[in-house]
Structure 1
Amino acid sequence: MTKGATFKVLPAALAGLALMAASVATAGTVAPDSVPIEDMELKQSLTGTPGDAVAGRETFADRKKGNCLACHVNAELDELLFHGEVGPPLDGVADRWSEAQLRAIIVNSKDVFGEQTIMPGFYTTKAGARVADKFTGKTILSAQEVEDVIAYLQTLKEN
């Protein structure tokens, strides 16, 4: 290979590397409080990885993570006790809300429903008043856990 040929190949190789780096950057996790909620929707996945409905069901029911049953009735989880009645029933939620709407609600419900809602934002560091120091600046769920819960909620259709 001649010296001139090396220089012709090098720019093409660098362009390819730049394209791969850009793809990796866009596939990364979106930082909390950097999510573009517009018109009550968040169309962009937080992780670029599809959610796992089975893991989402576990997070949904976990009293130390999602704790969704503290406020919502969900007949699909009728084997668990103490479903709350503060929020709306989640039976058929996938028929009422799109995936993008559910993502926005879970990420930061206050951006969707307003500051008066009691529902917390699960992927925001804006937790509000009276937050224990150990939780300040942290999200309730990880980005992947949010995507998993959305995948689970998408299975809750009217019968």
Structure 2
Amino acid sequence: MKILGTAAVIAGMLTSAALAEAVAPTAVKYDEGTVAMSLSGKAGDPVEGRDIVGNKKKGNCVACHQVTDLSDVPFHGEIGPALDGAGDRWNEAELRGIVANAKLMFEDTMMPAFYKTEGFIRPGKAYTGKAADETFGPVLTAQQIEDVVAYLKTLKE
């Protein structure tokens, strides 16, 4: 009986470890632009997400979007829709898909893909020779995407 209990605990730990592994940007499963499963295997932290949305060195979402909750952050943009009420307009899978790669849901959007590492058009190399090569990572990590989604879910009308 003790062996079965120990085996169950070990199996649970292995399952948790597997779930906690981040999904690579190239392995994200999109369904009509939505992403049903967590990219990090962990719940997002809305406090961290708030920081990412308003931080010009991280997500910098306020460069394009207005967010009333972030009135302490100056210079909100006006080219994207206001994020107030985002938690009512979109469900979690839609929010995750939009933040990871908005172009899959909104073809003509100017919003960058925050969780993408390939398929870019790199005209700078041809003109300046200084554009980044293909070895750079996504703008945000899998956990940061989850944190932003958790924060956006709190933005209700």
What is the TM-score normalised by the length of structure 1? Answer: 0.81
- The match for 1:124 is 116
Does residue 147 (structure 1) correspond to residue 146 (structure 2)? The answer is yes
Contact 1:72 1:84 in 2 (8 A): yes
Aligned partner of 2:81 in structure 1 is: 88
1:4-83 aligned within 5 A:
21=14, 23-83=16-76
Whether the 8 Å contact between 1:121 and 1:127 is mirrored in structure 2 is: no
Residues 127, 58 of structure 1: alpha-carbon distance in 2 compared, 3 angstrom cutoff: farther
* Cα distance change on mapping 1:79 and 1:26 into 2, 3 Å: closer
Counterpart selection for 1:105 from 98, 103, 117 = 98
Instruction: Give 1:104 deviation, angstroms.
Output: 0.4
In 1, Cα distance between the equivalents of 2:105 and 2:58? 21
TM-score normalised by length of structure 2: 0.82
Alpha-carbon contact 1:108-1:120 (below 8 Å) kept? yes
Instruction: Please identify the structure whose Cα radius of gyration is greater.
Output: 1
Could you say which residue in structure 2 is the equivalent of 1:137? 136
Count of residues in Structure 1 that have an aligned counterpart in Structure 2: 149
Aligned twin of 1:6: none
SS at match of 1:120: coil
SS at match of 1:154: helix
Q: Distance in 2 between matches of 1:18 and 1:156?
A: 37
Counterpart CA distance in 2 for 1:76 and 1:132 is: 36
Letter in structure 2 aligned against 1:129: I
Which structure 2 segments of 5+ residues have no match?
A: 1-5, 123-129
In structure 2, the CA distance between the partners of 1:77 and 1:46, relative to structure 1 (3 Å rule), is same
- CA-to-partner distance for each residue in 1:75-133, whole Å, 9 max, x for gaps? 1111221110111010111000001100001111112212x321011111136234941
Structure 1: 5+ residue runs without aligned partners? 1-12
% identical equivalent positions:
48
Deviation (angstroms), 1:17: 6.2
